[in-house]
Amino acid sequence: MKLKGAQILMKVLQEEGVDTIFGYPGGAVIDIYDEFSKTDITHILVRHEQGAVHAADGYARAKGTVGVCLVTSGPGATNTVTGIASAYMDSIPIVVFTGQVPTSLIGNDAFQEVDIVGITRPCTKHNYLVKRTEDLGRIVKEAFHLARSGRPGPVLVDIPKDVSNGVIEYEEPTLKLNSYQPVYEPDIKSLEKLVALIKEAKKPLVLGGGGIILSNAAKEFTEFINKTQIPVTTSLMGLGAFPAPDPLWLGMIGMHGTYRANMTTGECDLMITVGARFDDRVTGKTDQFARQAKIVQIDIDPTSIQKNIPVTLPIVGDCKKTLAHLNNLLDKEDLGDLKAKRAKWFEQIDTWKEKARLSYEQKEDVIKPQYVIEKLYELTKGEAIITTEVGQNQMWAAQYYHLKQPNHFITSGGLGVMGFGLPAAIGAKAACPDQMVVDIAGDGSIQMNIQELATAIQFCLPVKIVLLNNQYLGMVRQWQELFYEKRYACTAMEYAPDFVKLAEAYGAVGLRATKPEEVESVLSEGLSNPGTVIMEFVVSREEGVYPMVPAGAAITEMLLV
C-alpha cells in the first residue's frame, strides 16, 4: 500500500505502543500534525519545546517506557537541547522527532534551518537525519530500540519536510543494528567471586544507582539486600530502589547525603555498586573515596566501569538479570547469621546515626522548608510521585521525602535543570493519571517553565506544586554564605509575581502559608483539591541544606550545620 511519510510515522508509532506525544507544531511538521486526527494517539500541546522534552522524560520515568515528543525545525529543535542533555545524563529513554527543511534546502541557510543532528550529537545516544521516505519506518523502529535497550538514552530523529510528504509503497521495515549488541548476561564466574567477597566482608556496603530503576530491578535489589543483610545507600537517581523505612537503609550518599551513609563509605571494606556511575556529587574527592574497600561495580555500560573510580571486580550486565543470577547463587550458599557476624559494623553505623541525624529546628515564627516536606510525606503517606525542580528544594525533597518504591522520584540529576519539575510532573501525570503527582519547587526554578501551567489545565492533568519560596536562588546563596563571606551577588529574588494570583490567572488554585501553623492545612486543602494547585510556603530565607560536602573535599568531610 502507498503511504505518505507522515502516515508511516504514525503507523510505526502505534506499532511501538505510543499512546501519548508531547509537542509543539510548526511549518516543517504540519503534515505530521495533520495525521494526528486520524489516530488514537493523544497529543499534549506544551507551551515551550523544552517543556515537551521534560514532559516526555517524566512520562518515561513514571511509566517505565519510552517518552516521545515532536517539534518543528529551527528554534523548535534548538529549544529541545536542554531537555535532551538532561535525559542523556540521566539515561532516560526518549525519542525526539524534529522537523527539518526539505532535503534540497539543507545547507543553504533556509528559513528555520539548523543542523540539529550536529548540535545534539554530543548529548544523544544516537541521532538520525532521514534522507529518504523509504528509510523512515526503519529508522523510527531503530530509534525506539536504541532508546530503550542497553543503557537507555535519548535518540533524535530529524525529518525533512519532503520526507514526511513523500509517498512510497510501504513495506514492513527491518532493523539494521547488528553492530549494537549490549551485554545483558553477566559473567557467572565473576558473580561467584562476588559471593566469596560478600562472605568474607566484615564491613560491607551496597551503593545503588539509577540503573536499578531503569532496568526494573528494585525487587531483585531488595531481595539481594535482605539475603545479605548489607546496609544500603543510593545516589540521588537511585532513590526508591530500596524502601527508605527499612532499618538497613542509610539514606542518600553524596554531597548532601546523610552523615551515616557518607561515613560508612569511608570505612567499609567492601563496596558493591549496582547501576551507579560514581558521579562527582557521590564521590567527592576521588582519591579519598572508599579507599579501604574492595569495590565491585555492576553496570550494563562497560564505559562507565572504572571511568571515575578504580574497581576490584568489574561486572558488565543488566542490573535485573545480574541480581537475579546473584540471588540464585546466594540461595545455594550457607551464609549463616551475617548480621550477627557484622554486629560491630552495625554498632558503628548506629553511632554515626546518633551523632548526626537529619534535623532542623522548627521555630514558631518562620516556616522551615524541611518541615513542609515532612508534612507532605505524612499526608501523602509516601505514596505520591515526586518531581523536583533543582537546587535546595531538590535536596530537601531527597532528604525528607522517604521513598518507598521505584519510579516515584523524578529529578534532573546529572544536568541539574532548573525548570524541570513542572513539565516532568505533567508527563508523569499523563503516564499515571490515577497517581498523586507533586512537584517540589523553588521560587527561582518554577519561573523557568511556569507557562506549562496552561498545559496542565488544558489537558486536565492536575499536578500539585509545593513551592518553597525563600526569595533567593537558594543553593547558590548558600555557597555565597559559606565560601564568599555572604556576598549575595545576584541571588536575591525579592521581586517575583504573586504566585497565588498567577495560579488563578492560569485557571489553577493558589494557596499560601506564611506561618508554621498554616502548613498542614494548606497542604491538606491543596492535596485534596481535584485540580492543579500551587501551594506557596514562605520559608526561612537563609536556611541551608546540610550535611554538605564542600567542593574538593572527601565525602567524609561534611559540614553539619
Q: Can you give the pLDDT at residue 334?
A: 84
Q: Can you give the pLDDT at residue 169?
A: 94
Q: Can you give the pLDDT at residue 231?
A: 97
Dist. CA 426–CA 433, nearest whole Å: 10
Catalytic residue among 111, 306, 333, 363: 111
Tens of pLDDT, residues 52-75: 999 999 999 999 999 999 999 999
The kind and range of the H/E element at 96 are strand 94-100
Percentage of the chain exceeding pLDDT 90? 95
CB 224 within 8 A of CB 326: yes
Tens of pLDDT, residues 447-480: 999 999 999 999 999 999 999 999 999 999 999 9
Q: Can you give the pLDDT at residue 178?
A: 74
**Region 2-169: CATH code:** 3.40.50.970
The kind and range of the H/E element at 351 are helix 343-355
Tens of pLDDT, residues 281-307: 999 999 999 999 999 999 999 999 999
**Residue 464 annotated among the catalytic residues of the structure:** no
The count of other CB atoms within 10 Å of the CB of residue 389 is: 33
Catalytic residue among 36, 112, 229, 288: 112
- The CATH class, in words, for 188-355 is alpha beta
Dist. CA 462–CA 92, nearest whole Å: 24
| Beta-bridge mates of residue 67 | 94
∠ CA 523-60-404, rounded to 5°: 50
Residue 224 has pLDDT above 90, yes or no: yes
The residue ranking higher by pLDDT, 476 or 363, is 476
Q: CATH 3.40.50.1220 in the chain, residues?
A: 188-355
Q: How many Cα atoms occupy the beta-carbon half-sphere of 406 within 13 Å?
A: 24
Residue 258 has pLDDT above 80, yes or no: yes
Tens of pLDDT, residues 241-253: 999 999 999 999 9
What's the whole-model pTM score? 0.97
The pLDDT-based confidence of 561 (bands split at 50, 70, 90) is confident
Where do we find the cell 538497613? Answer: 248
Residue 152: is the preceding peptide bond cis (ω within 30°)? no
Catalytic residue among 16, 35, 49, 220: 49
Residue range 75-84: mean pLDDT, rounded: 98
The kind and range of the H/E element at 424 are helix 421-431
Residue 547: is the preceding peptide bond cis (ω within 30°)? yes
Residue range 257-277: mean pLDDT, rounded: 97
Dist. CA 424–CA 419, nearest whole Å: 9
Catalytic residue among 255, 475, 548, 558: 475
Q: How many Cα atoms occupy the beta-carbon half-sphere of 389 within 13 Å?
A: 25
| SS3 state at 80 | coil
Residue 189 has pLDDT above 90, yes or no: yes
Q: What is the chain's percent helix, strand, coil content, to nearest 5?
A: 45, 20, 40
Mean pLDDT of the chain: 96
The alpha-carbon radius of gyration of the chain (Å, integer) is 24
Mention every residue, 6+ apart, whose C-beta is less than 8 A from residue 74: 26, 28, 111, 112, 113, 114
Tens of pLDDT, residues 193-220: 999 999 999 999 999 999 999 999 999 9
Q: Can you give the pLDDT at residue 165?
A: 97
Tens of pLDDT, residues 516-532: 999 999 999 999 999 99
Lowest mean pLDDT among 57-71, 90-104, 164-178: 164-178
Residue range 99-106: mean pLDDT, rounded: 96
Residue 512 has pLDDT above 90, yes or no: yes
**Residue 111 annotated among the catalytic residues of the structure:** yes
Dist. CA 451–CA 59, nearest whole Å: 19
- Displacement of CA 332 from its chain's centroid (Å): 36
Q: How many Cα atoms occupy the beta-carbon half-sphere of 454 within 13 Å?
A: 10
Longest C-alpha distance within the chain, in Å? 73
Residue 146 has pLDDT above 90, yes or no: yes
Residue 179 has pLDDT above 80, yes or no: no
**Residue 112 annotated among the catalytic residues of the structure:** yes
Dist. CA 10–CA 18, nearest whole Å: 9
Residue 338 has pLDDT above 90, yes or no: no
**Region 369-538: CATH code:** 3.40.50.970
**Residue 192 annotated among the catalytic residues of the structure:** no
Q: Can you give the pLDDT at residue 175?
A: 82
Residue of 101, 75, 96 lying closest to 85 (CA atoms) = 96
CA distance to 100, 116, 126, 464, per residue, from 107 (Å): 11, 12, 21, 45
CB 327 within 8 A of CB 223: yes
CA distance to 59, 65, 271, per residue, from 431 (Å): 5, 9, 35
**Residue 237 annotated among the catalytic residues of the structure:** no
Q: CATH 3.40.50.970 in the chain, residues?
A: 2-169, 369-538
| SS3 state at 207 | strand
Tens of pLDDT, residues 401-436: 999 999 999 999 999 999 999 999 999 999 999 999
Q: Can you give the pLDDT at residue 216?
A: 97
Residue 237 has pLDDT above 80, yes or no: yes
The pLDDT-based confidence of 339 (bands split at 50, 70, 90) is confident
